[in-house]
């Protein structure tokens, strides 16, 4: 896989994880049935935002990691990868605990049960936490990939390099076009005149 493609894959993975985490926060994670003398049976639902509001912050972090990935290089980029991998592991653990652990009696749903109602049965867990669980695994793998590919992936381009970085003045006509395609201005360092057409 070429270095630009590696950068594109990691950027796409971070954007997809941020989107999936935002979607999972709106999914129903737990439902519970309540019954009362006035309204009868009522179903109360708790979404991912109710049970794990921190996932919204992780979604923003994944999107922010895209900018950090593009703007950094070397060890700074590896640090970004370590942070992404650690956050992915934590999201996976949080989601797995919801899937495997007991469902709490009071799950803090935004939709409160009617006053005077009593539970008609145990709270039921949905499969929605599988989404952030998969996202956690993807974030973990993306972070590891960033650490391993940090040196190979391109940065912001030559046009953003420090002024002290010097490039060779093109010697052939084709070199002038290649320099322009790379975002460089060969005329800024040229001491001669326009080479013009060859005779």
Q: What is the pLDDT of residue 166?
A: 47
Q: Are 48 and 128 in contact (CB under 8 A)?
A: yes
Q: Are residues 167 and 107 in the same domain?
A: no
Q: Are residues 130 and 90 in the same domain?
A: yes
Lowest mean pLDDT among 28-42, 70-84, 97-111, 181-195: 181-195
Q: Which two tokens stand for residue 16?
A: 């997809």
29-54: average pLDDT:
79
- Mean pLDDT (the chain) is 78
Q: Which domain holds residue 173?
A: 159-188
Q: What is the pLDDT of residue 162?
A: 45
Residue 100 lies in a domain: yes
Cβ neighbors of 152 (< 8 A, separation 6 or more) are 3, 6
Q: Are residues 103 and 133 in the same domain?
A: yes
Q: Are residues 132 and 173 in the same domain?
A: no
Q: Are residues 169 and 99 in the same domain?
A: no
Q: Where are the beta strands (DSSP E) in 60-104?
A: none
Q: How many domains does the chain have?
A: 2
């Amino acid at each position: 896989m070429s270095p630009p493609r590696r950068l594109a894959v990691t950027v796409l993975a971070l954007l997809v994880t941020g989107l999936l985490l935002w979607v999972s926060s709106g999914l129903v994670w737990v439902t519970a049935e309540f019954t009362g003398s006035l309204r009868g049976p009522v179903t109360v639902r708790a979404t991912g935002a109710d049970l794990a509001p921190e996932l919204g912050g992780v979604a923003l972090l994944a999107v922010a990691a895209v900018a950090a990935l593009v703007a950094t290089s070397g060890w700074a980029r590896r640090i970004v990868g370590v942070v992404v991998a650690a956050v992915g592991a934590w999201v996976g653990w949080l989601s797995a605990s919801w899937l495997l652990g007991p469902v709490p009696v009071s799950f803090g749903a935004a939709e409160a049960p009617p006053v005077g109602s009593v539970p008609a049965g145990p709270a039921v867990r949905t499969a929605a936490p599988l989404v952030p669980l998969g996202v956690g695994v993807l974030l973990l793998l993306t972070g590891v990939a960033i650490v391993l590919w940090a040196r190979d992936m391109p940065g912001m381009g030559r046009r953003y390099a420090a002024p002290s970085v010097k490039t060779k003045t093109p010697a052939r006509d084709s070199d002038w076009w290649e320099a322009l395609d790379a975002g460089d201005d060969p005329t800024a360092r040229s001491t001669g005149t326009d080479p013009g057409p060859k005779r």
